[in-house]
């Protein structure tokens, strides 16, 4: 009376997530898409990876705004 338990079971429950850029399926713990090489975040409730916040672009945008404001002050303030 052999009782083989659990040999045929494989983990396939949400082991992947979807890349938000190219819609490819990548590993759920991947931090970078294998297909388009972009950085991706954790999967949301729909199984789609979130786009990580790009701090660099914020800094560049803030710098541009600061430069513009500084120019306006210099142009109209004097």
Size of the site for Zn ion (CB under 5 A): 7
| Helices vs strands, H then E, count in the chain | 1, 2
Q: Per residue in 6-22, is it b (16+ CB within 10 Å) or e — as a string?
A: eeeeeeeeeebbbbbee
Considering the complex, what minimum distance in angstroms separates the CB of residue 40 from Zn ion? 7
Q: What angle do CA 54, 58, 64 make, to 5 degrees?
A: 145
Considering the complex, what minimum distance in angstroms separates the CB of residue 36 from Zn ion? 3
* Touching Zn ion, residues 16-55 (CB under 5 A): 19, 21-22, 24, 33, 35-36
18 DSSP β-pair partners: 25, 48
CB-nearer residue toward Zn ion: 29 or 62: 29
Considering the complex, what minimum distance in angstroms separates the CB of residue 32 from Zn ion? 9
Residues at the contact surface with Zn ion, assessed by CB under 5 A: 19, 21-22, 24, 33, 35-36
């Amino acid at each position: 009376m052999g009782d083989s338990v659990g040999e045929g079971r494989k983990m396939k429950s949400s082991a992947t997530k979807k890349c938000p850029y190219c819609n490819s399926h990548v590993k759920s713990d991947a931090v970078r898409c294998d297909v388009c090489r972009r950085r991706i975040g954790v999967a949301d409730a729909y199984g789609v990876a979130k786009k990580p916040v790009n701090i660099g672009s914020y800094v560049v945008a803030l710098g541009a705004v600061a430069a513009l404001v500084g120019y306006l002050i210099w142009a109209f303030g004097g």
